[in-house]
């Protein structure tokens, strides 16, 4: 498996993805149809016992939409590791097909390694007068759900710029393409962010609850409890709840709201652990990467099993 004792540059993550696809062609399919704004491949893996032939419910997990949230991509590659290289929970492949997209914003992720550690957005430019001096759109404001109405900005020089229109970003269109392709059978969608030790569910733009809130909460609690049971005493306990109420601010155009609005029953934003304050929280000490990957996978497993008992 990949090393989990330090944060890895994009090429190491991509080499891992390529090698897994090569080494396990029976269960793994690499998809790289689209390229990022700067031309990097957008890579995700489809993992299945039978090449997605038997219409099982799909679990989709993405990471790295926000570039500086470095703990996010390793939790997704770790899920790949657990499903392919070290399958200690075979029921999860019996019951579900999986789609794992570790770095949804590779341009931003590379930029945090080569230039600006605290970069959040994509690296695109558009027609806005300020866009050339201030590139980048917030991917988690760019989905077509109550787009650019709350917790967003029209100014490209801010971290929450919503873009010139919904789905202006090819990286966001790539995530959306997965959601659309498997809409009829996607059961769980999780987008990995940091930080705060939170499990958030819709609706995040106005704090109201969806029709499916009771189930969203039950499955969310199962995830949060499983993580807490695997966690370290020094880590914060997870809180589970509505996005706006639990994180304390509203934001529209977010992935978890959009996927739910399209009909995916169980959609969550995980805010993974961070220690420290302010922007320090985005740089979780690398000594904790392995721990967070293990406990986060525990949360995904518990959520998948909890959902299996309901659906």
Q: How far is the C-alpha of 77 from the C-alpha of 14, rounded, in Å?
A: 10
Which helix (DSSP H) or strand (DSSP E) does residue 198 occupy?
strand 198-201
Shortest Å distance, C-beta 202 to Zn ion: 16
Q: Which is nearer to ligand 0X9, 32 or 159 (CB)?
A: 159
Is 271 part of the annotated catalytic residue set? yes
Q: How far is the C-alpha of 36 from the C-alpha of 270, rounded, in Å?
A: 24
| 269 part of the interface to ligand 0X9, by CB under 6 A | yes
| 123 part of the interface to Zn ion, by CB under 5 A | no
Q: Determine the size of the site formed for ligand 0X9 (CB under 6 A).
A: 14
| 242 part of the interface to ligand 0X9, by CB under 6 A | no
Q: Which is nearer to Zn ion, 43 or 193 (CB)?
A: 193
97 makes contact, choosing from ligand 0X9, Zn ion, none, with CB < 5 to 8 Å by partner type, with: none
Q: Characterize the bridge pairing of strands 186-194 and 266-272.
A: parallel
156 token code pair: 């490209």
| 260 part of the interface to ligand 0X9, by CB under 6 A | no
Q: Binder to Zn ion among 43, 81, 123, 193 (CB under 5 A)?
A: 193
Q: Taking CB positions, which residue lies at the least distance from ligand 0X9?
A: 204
SS in 3 state form for 212-280?
A: CHHHHHHHHHHHHHHHHHHCCCCCCCCEEEEHHHHHCCCCCCCHHHHHHHCCCCEEEEEEECCCCCHHH
| 121 part of the interface to ligand 0X9, by CB under 6 A | no
Q: Binder to ligand 0X9 among 43, 56, 123, 193 (CB under 6 A)?
A: 193
Give Rg (Cα) of the chain: 18
Q: Binder to ligand 0X9 among 21, 200, 240, 292 (CB under 6 A)?
A: 200
Shortest Å distance, C-beta 244 to ligand 0X9: 6
Q: Determine the size of the site formed for Zn ion (CB under 5 A).
A: 3
Q: How far is the C-alpha of 182 from the C-alpha of 174, rounded, in Å?
A: 13
> 278 Cβ partners below 8 Å, 6+ apart?
none
String marking each residue 33-72 x if it binds ligand 0X9 according to CB under 6 A? ---------------------------------x--x---
Q: How far is the C-alpha of 174 from the C-alpha of 130, rounded, in Å?
A: 25
Residue 300 backbone dihedrals phi, psi, to 5 degrees: -65, -45
Q: Which residues bind ligand 0X9 (CB under 6 A)?
A: 66, 69, 140, 193, 200, 204, 243, 247, 251, 254, 256-257, 269, 271
Active-site annotation, residues: 271
What residues line the site for Zn ion (CB under 5 A)? 66, 69, 193
């Amino acid at each position: 498996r990949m090393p989990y004792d330090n944060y890895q540059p994009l090429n190491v993550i991509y080499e891992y993805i390529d090698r897994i696809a090569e080494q396990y062609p029976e269960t793994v399919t690499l998809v790289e149809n689209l390229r990022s704004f700067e031309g990097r491949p957008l890579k995700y893996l489809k993992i299945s016992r039978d090449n997605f032939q038997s219409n099982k419910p799909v679990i989709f997990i993405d990471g790295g939409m926000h570039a500086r949230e470095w703990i996010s991509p390793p939790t997704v590659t770790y899920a790949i590791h657990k499903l392919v290289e070290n399958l200690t929970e075979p029921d999860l492949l019996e019951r579900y097909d999986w789609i794992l997209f570790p770095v949804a914003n590779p341009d931003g992720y590379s930029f945090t390694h080569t230039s600006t550690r605290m970069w959040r957005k994509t690296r695109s430019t558009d027609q806005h007068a300020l866009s050339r001096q201030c590139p980048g759109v917030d991917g988690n404001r760019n989905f077509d759900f109550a787009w650019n109405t709350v917790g967003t900005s029209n100014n490209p020089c801010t971290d929450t710029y919503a873009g010139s229109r919904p789905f202006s970003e090819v990286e966001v269109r790539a995530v959306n393409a997965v959601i659309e392709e498997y809409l009829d059978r996607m059961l769980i969608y999780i987008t990995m962010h940091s930080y705060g030790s939170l499990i958030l569910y819709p609706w995040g733009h106005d704090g109201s609850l969806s029709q499916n809130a009771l189930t969203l909460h039950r499955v969310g609690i199962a995830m949060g409890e499983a993580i807490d049971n695997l966690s370290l005493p020094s880590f914060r306990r997870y809180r589970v709840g509505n996005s706006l109420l639990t994180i304390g601010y509203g934001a529209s155009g977010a992935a978890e709201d959009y996927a739910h609005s399209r009909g995916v029953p169980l959609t969550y934003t995980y805010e993974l652990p961070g220690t420290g304050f302010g922007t320090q929280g985005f740089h979780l000490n690398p000594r904790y990467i392995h721990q967070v990957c293990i406990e986060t996978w525990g949360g995904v497993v518990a959520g998948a099993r909890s959902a299996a008992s309901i659906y």
